[in-house]
Amino acid sequence: MGSASLYQLARSGAKVIGIDRFAPPHNQGSTHGETRITRRAIGEGEAYVPLAIRSHELWREIEGQTGASLLHEIGSLIIGRPDDPAERPGRTSFLDRSIVAAQRFGIAHEVLSAAEIRHRYPNFTPDDDEVGYFEPGGGYLRVEACVAANLQLAERHGATALLGTEVLAIAQQGDSVRIVTTHGDILAAQVAVSAGPWAGQLLGEPFARVLKPTRQVMHWFDIAPAALDDWGRSPVFMWPHGDDEDGSFYGFPSLDGATMKTADEFYGAASNPNAIDRAVPAADSARMHRTHVVGRLAGVSAHAARTTTCIYTATADSIFVIDRHPDQPNVLVVSPCSGHGFKHSAAIGEAVAQIMTGASSIIDLTPFRLARLLG
């Protein structure tokens, strides 16, 4: 969201500085690990659908301006049981809600039986009582390339990128905002804070109370030679199963002709983003394979060729926060996105630019207001 906002603000003609304690694209936050799933019919809630649709348009524009290959619409497949009652943060009845969203917004899709899934995609082995929602316009984004493209265009339009610089404090002073950094102070008319897992620490209350960073792990499992063709032609997938909130996983086709990437989601104890354990023990990959892969994905070895960690920053209802700071009206807080934000980031950046330059967002952002979390 930060790089997208920087680009869109610069594009609008604003004088803008983007500050990052690291040098993006980097692997310290929530935006790395090769790929993220994208789709238009959003089972997390219909308020996201306009963001997803607009983001796909913007990714294509950015590709045209940079020559980068960012958006790969290879299809997305959600497998699950209709009327699934399991409570999952922001994703309860995920399959059914995705179908309803597609119907309501006229998004091209198919509903496939288990037999049709197994015939079309032999790398998936659903049970007979499971069905699939297939969206041909879904797929994946090359995340590091997306961030790099945003930054390239931002600088082309006159933005300044201040990298390797940590923001220590933000405080509104009259009609301005003072940003205290490790390389000196900056006085700005407005500030957009897109600090991901560091947002709570940086902004204090109430954000420290309502935002929870959690450590997540991605695994790249070896594929058996006989299954490589099937995995090379595979759509991205999401697969809720079981009875608890962690009973869901997702994954991607093979992009390297040897492995496929998959991950589940952890909503347990909060993590300190400054002290994330980046080491992934073999036991965790074994758990991932045993819990999710066995019996569902064909030809996927238990051996993880590589792993990496990232950080979710979740709200209690798993819905975004895009809103003004309650005590600092010139500070716009963006991107506590609960693990499902990247697909929307291009449109969120555009909305941030519209809001901060005095216009109204063309997309309704009222569902993402902070007040709902404060009680």
Strand-strand pairing, 236-240 and 248-251: antiparallel
Please check whether residue 151 is in contact with residue 135, taking contact to mean a CB–CB distance below 8 angstroms.
no
Whether residue 135 contacts residue 108, with contact meaning beta carbons closer than 8 Å, is answered with yes
State how beta strands 17-20 and 160-163 pair. parallel
Where does the chain have alpha helices with state H? 2-11, 49-66, 94-105, 114-120, 143-156, 199-203, 207-210, 228-232, 282-288, 345-356
- Write out the chain's pLDDT in tens, 375 residues: 999 999 999 999 999 999 999 999 999 999 999 999 999 999 999 999 999 999 999 999 999 999 999 999 999 999 999 999 888 877 889 999 999 999 999 999 999 999 999 999 999 999 999 999 999 999 999 999 999 999 999 999 999 999 999 999 999 999 999 999 999 999 999 999 999 999 999 999 999 999 999 999 999 999 999 999 999 999 999 999 988 777 899 999 999 999 999 999 988 899 999 999 999 999 999 999 999 999 999 999 999 999 999 999 999 999 999 999 999 999 999 988 988 999 999 999 999 999 999 998 999 999 999 999 997
77's CB contacts (< 8 A; 6+ apart) are 112, 117, 121, 124, 132, 133, 134, 135, 138, 235, 236, 237, 238
Chain-centre distance of CA 346, in angstroms? Answer: 11
Residue 190, burial from CB neighbour count under 10 angstroms (0-12, 13-18, 19+) = buried
Residues facing residue 77 across a β-bridge: 134, 237
Give the DSSP letter string of 261-298: EEEE---SS---GGG------HHHHHHHIIIIITTTBT
